[in-house]
Amino acid sequence: MSSWQPPVLTKSHRLGDPYVAAGDRAYLIGTQDGDFPDMGEHVPGEMGGLWAHPIKLLDGFWLQVDGCWLPRASRFTQGPFFNEHTFHLDGLTVTRRQWVPDGLPGLVVSYRFEAAAPRELTVALVAHTDLRPVWLGERTGMIDAPDEGAFDEELQAAVVRDRANPWWVVVGSDSPVAGEVGPHCRGPHPTGGRGTGIRLERRIPVRPGEPAEVRYYVAGSDRSREEAVEVLATLRQRADALYAAKLRRYEEIDRGGRVLVPDPDLMEAFRWVKFNYDQLVREVPGQGRGLGAGLPEYPWWFGTDSSYALLGLLPLGQEQHRLAMETLELLARVSQATNGNGRIIHEVVTNGAVFHPGNAQETPHFVKAVYHVFRWAGDREFLRRIFPICKQGVLAWLLQERASGDCLARGYGIIEIDGLDLKLLDTAVYTYEALAALAELAPEVGEDPAFARRCRELAAAVKEAINTRFWLPEEGLYADLLATPAEMLPRLAQWEAEAIRTGRHHAVLHLRELQERARRLPPDHETGWLLKNWIINTPLEAGVAPREYALLALGRMGGPEFCGHHGLFLSGLYRDHIMTINTGVQAVAEAMYGRAQAAREWMLRIARTLHLRTPGSPSEMSPDYGCFVQAWTGYGLFWPLVVMLGIRPHAATRELCLSWPNLPADWEPFAWEEVAIGDSRFSFYFRDGRYEVALISGAPWQVTVQAPAGQAIRMVGRATSAGAEVRFTLDREPVALEVT
């Protein structure tokens, strides 16, 4: 057993909020008061409960003690991968704990009973099955049918199947029980679906000072009864060993990419968001393994979400490098099977159904993610496998099928508002980054030098367009899009009507002003239009804006027009919704232009939502709604650190470029320990004006550190001259640097 003590968070209010106990093959979602109400929208009312994708196993489970249902829990405890609920009933204290093992479609639940006087309890676990497919199951031939089953005396478990499919769930205990299955086995309230009930009853003696415990195991399969029964047997025989293995793995997660700053809110967020990442790993036989987007609504795989989320994942460990590559290869495989032209899909469900073939911005954004994953992981075989779809997607699909001769593709981008299918800024910015990435990656896969030159030329053209055609000097901001008045007028009228209908009256005036402008211009004159969606910060995130433009834009976007208490508004027009992703992009943008203190403030806005809903997990929508675990949140916490330290790795050649740290003034001392690059781990320290770089594991690296502008840098304790940069071989002896 590991000596690591996992952190825990407790909560005694708003216990109707959700939680998750997750593994890579299954996860359980309920509410912190111990209940399992119907919840969710994609499969209406069914996104909670126990899922082993691509099917659901249970709606939930409840416990009766001497004929009485446990009341609502009075306290909830969140661990990195387990949860506990504390109940009080008739002189008893009952603690329920649940966790999901790695690599198995199953769940372990335990109840601990404490009493002040001797008791002989009759306890009954009642579960409600709901063997049904995930969203869009009908597209893949997965049609739900009623559940049926029986209690198997020899197996000492309830065995239930879907009447028309090879979907099974088995529920058993760690001791003999009396069991029955049928619709008469009802919980404290009805749940939706076509499932049936399970009741497992047993006697438990409890003595003062001697807590009694009972365990239950749930196992499932979308293939066969035999597989489900085998998983149940594994849980019964190896639960303690599986728990210990998961504990050791989470200790490694906790250790990787550990951030130490004099900022408790951020310290806690850095720690727990690493655990959030792991809660979203989905492995589905026949489909693949990758990072899901969010719970409960988006447990499957996305193009945009992954392109953000994976960058925040990269510094955290070699296991996370593998996960990033697996995610991108899954998306590439499904995209090519679906589209066949390099276009990256928007989302694929865990049953293989593709909901949307992909927005214009997702293909270049995917290439940007591939570039960074390769540079951090250093896996040349991964790059060779995935480079062809990157090349095809950008140069053939995006710039030939979607562009009109000026390297600016048309189509929907990140903002999925009806009518925003024009030449969008975010698509242009990620196109620039993708072309620059292809130029750098080309020699790695043996491309002709002419290909790299072409990519650089195209990138320069796109960058020029961003900073001339999209820039609005009268606003000090970038335009959301380029379009003609003829294209804009019907859209503006549509958006105005919607703003009136929804009561967003402060947006109506701006939309009317844009319509007046459109009427004054020649109908075919393509120009920039400011709609104040958050994507106008993407040139700053990419560092493509001239510094004078960036400072103007950052200054305005940091004001009340765009900024709310919990982060950046999705729209400066509507000012009513905030997400962690646009706030995170703003943090990256501030860091890109050396505004570290401002970046910290945006990061803090994310961090301060950490405990508002599900302890240890910022919600997708700030402060406390939408998905309660969201993968892309990590981008806005960890990637600004990469920018502040100027970390630019080339793991395949064991070369690392760093800039002199540009950190918030109150972040000294600073440490980022066990940062994973290639097969090695580094630690970075800044204290007393000195920058120290240490290689914790792995073979030597060639390191270059660049001095701040106008200053020189030298290695402490070594007979070297100061200069604009220093280069050295980093082995196990840390190197300290200072500026002169």
Q: What is the CATH number of the domain that holds 674?
A: 2.60.420.10
List the alpha helices (DSSP H) in 653-702. none
Task: Give the type of residue at 567.
Answer: G
What does DSSP assign to residue 378? -
Give me the pLDDT at residue 2, please: 60
- Residue 477 corresponds to which amino acid? L
Q: How far apart are CA 44 and CA 698, in angstroms?
A: 49
Assess whether 627 and 647 both reside in one domain.
no
- From 203, 219, 252, the end of a domain falls on 252
DSSP 577: -
**469: which 2 tokens?**
């055609």
For residues 550 and 678, membership in a common domain is answered with no
| Whole-number average pLDDT of the chain | 97
Q: Among 598, 631, 664, where does a domain finish?
A: 631
Would 122 be classed as within a structural domain?
Answer: yes
Q: Is residue 316 part of a domain?
A: yes
Residues 619 and 674 grouped into a single domain: no
| The domain boundary residue, chosen from 203, 227, 252 | 252
Judge contact between 394 and 363, C-beta under 8 A.
yes
CA distances from 512 to 68, 355, 416, 487, 528 (A): 62, 35, 22, 15, 16
The three-state secondary structure class of 348 is strand
Whether residue 419 is found in the same domain as residue 280: yes
Q: Is the peptide bond before 546 cis (omega within 30 degrees of 0)?
A: no
Is there a single domain that holds both residue 575 and residue 654? Answer: no
Query: In 3D, which of 283, 280, 155, 286 has the Cα closest to residue 223?
Result: 286
SS3 of the chain: helix, strand, coil, percent, to 5? 35, 30, 35
In a shared domain, residues 87 and 195: yes
Judge if 470 and 531 occupy the same domain. yes
Structure tokens at 74: 């009075």
Name the CA radius of gyration of the chain, rounded: 27
Are residues 556 and 622 both part of a single domain?
yes
Distance separating alpha carbons of residues 513 and 508, to the nearest angstrom: 9
pLDDT confidence of residue 251: 97
Structural domain tally of the chain? Answer: 3
**How high is the pLDDT of residue 442?**
98
What pLDDT sits at residue 401?
A: 87
Q: Are 241 and 302 part of one and the same domain?
A: no
| Residue 560 Cα distances to 287, 509, 586, 589, angstroms | 45, 17, 14, 18
Asked whether residue 143 is assigned to any structural domain, the reply reads yes
pLDDT of residue 701: 98
What is the CATH number for 198?
Answer: 2.70.98.40
- C-alpha to C-alpha distance for 152 and 167, rounded to whole angstroms: 17
Rounded to 5 degrees, what are φ and ψ at 305?
A: -55, -45
Q: How many helices (H) and strands (E) does the chain have?
A: 15, 43
What is the separation of C-alpha 499 from the centre of its chain, rounded to a whole number of angstroms?
A: 31
Q: pLDDT at position 506, please? A: 83
Give the domain range for residue 339. Answer: 264-484+526-631
What is the per-residue pLDDT for 143? 94
Residue 664 lies in a domain: yes
The enclosing H or E element of 728 equals strand 725-730
**Of 170, 156, 152, the residue nearest 230 (C-alpha):** 170
The verdict on residue 74 lying in a domain is yes
Q: Are residues 372 and 396 in the same domain?
A: yes
In a domain, 489, yes or no: no
CB atoms within 10 A of CB 687: 12
Q: Is 704 exposed, middle or buried (0-12, 13-18, 19+ CB in 10 A)?
A: middle
Which parts of the chain register pLDDT below 50?
none
CA–CA separation, 648 vs 661, rounded Å? 13
Residues 123 and 243 in one domain: yes
**Is this prediction's pTM over 0.95?**
yes
pLDDT in tens, 136-154: 999 999 999 999 999 999 9
| Rounded Cα gap, residues 23 and 6, in angstroms | 17
pLDDT (tens digit per residue) in 187-198: 999 999 999 999
Residue 504 resides in a domain: no
With CA atoms as reference, report the closest residue to 266 among 700, 687, 597, 737.
597
Q: Is residue 13 part of a domain?
A: yes
- Report the pLDDT value the prediction gives residue 405, as an integer from 0 to 100: 77
CA 449, 453, 457: angle at the middle one, nearest 5? 170
Alpha-helix residue ranges (DSSP H) falling in 414-532: 425-441, 449-468, 485-501, 505-520
Residues 124, 111: contact at Cβ < 8 Å? no
CATH code, 423:
1.50.10.10
Do 710 and 579 share a structural domain? no
